[in-house]
Amino acid sequence: MTEPVEILVASRNAKKLEEMQRILRDHLDQVEVLGLDDVAPYDEPVEDQPTFEGNALLKARAGVASSGLPTLADDSGLCVDALNGMPGVLSARWSGPPKSDERNNNLLLAQLADVPDERRTAYFTCAVALVLPDGTVRVVQDRMDGRITREVRGSGGFGYDVLFEADDRPGVTTAELDPADKDAISHRGKALRQIAPIVGDLLR
């Protein structure tokens, strides 16, 4: 039997890592997905790029350089039309240090308090970068369109999921969807399903 190929997913976010592992394992045979806690520690780069693609590449290249393993990394965030596309690449740290989903959500609700329902449109976007030890690079990006609710709802997902209703699942937040339903429509799910066959072809 063929030994599984190891691939590093450059993340310490347990919920994000679980989501990425779940989707990749559904689309790739004989691949063992590792997280950052499964490899020797290294200095992770500061995510200082102005684009999601740039930050994803930064993380993937650092993972390859340290571990020697093919590395996947993503950068994702919420872009709110009424805020000119913000929080964008600053999504995880929108309310300042230390990172806090609850404070980020409270700040976003406060910033949109006077914005009428028809102008509360937003989208999640995700860039996924694959970097191989031989220098091969592939990047894909996808999005999930929807709107920002007026209150927190749901206990699943993470980040801004409790405030986001996807156009494909109106009436519920993405935090109220079960994992399979969320994976089917999410920005990260779509991007990972794009990159999964590319990973399979390159690592065969």
Residue that the structure tokens 């779940």 belong to: 22
Does residue 153 contact residue 71 with C-beta atoms inside 8 Å?
no
Separation CA 27–CA 44 (nearest Å): 28
Count the domains in the chain.
1
Alpha-carbon distance of 159 to 175, in angstroms, equals 9
Known binding residue 164? Answer is no
Average pLDDT over residues 151-155: 96
Residues 71-101 have pLDDT tens digits of 999 999 999 999 999 999 999 999 999 999 9
- Does 158 appear as a known binding residue? yes
* Confidence at residue 24, expressed as pLDDT on a 0 to 100 scale: 77
Residue 79's domain comprises 5-203
Asked if 10 contacts 63 with a C-beta cutoff of 8 angstroms, the reply is yes
160 among the known binding-site residues?
yes
pLDDT at 14: 78
What Å distances lie between residue 70 and 74, 88, 124, 146, 185, CA to CA?
Answer: 14, 27, 26, 33, 26
Handedness of CA 185, 188, 190, 193 (dihedral sign): negative
Tell me, what amino acid is at 71?
T
Task: Confirm or deny that 12 is annotated as ligand binding.
Answer: yes
Q: Residue 83 sits in a domain of what CATH number?
A: 3.90.950.10
pLDDT in tens, 33-52: 899 999 999 999 999 999 99
Ligand-binding site membership of 161 (annotated): yes
State the catalytic residues.
75
What is the pLDDT at residue 75? Answer: 95
Cis ω for the linkage preceding 98 (within 30 of 0)? yes
For residue 18 the two structure tokens come to 């679980």
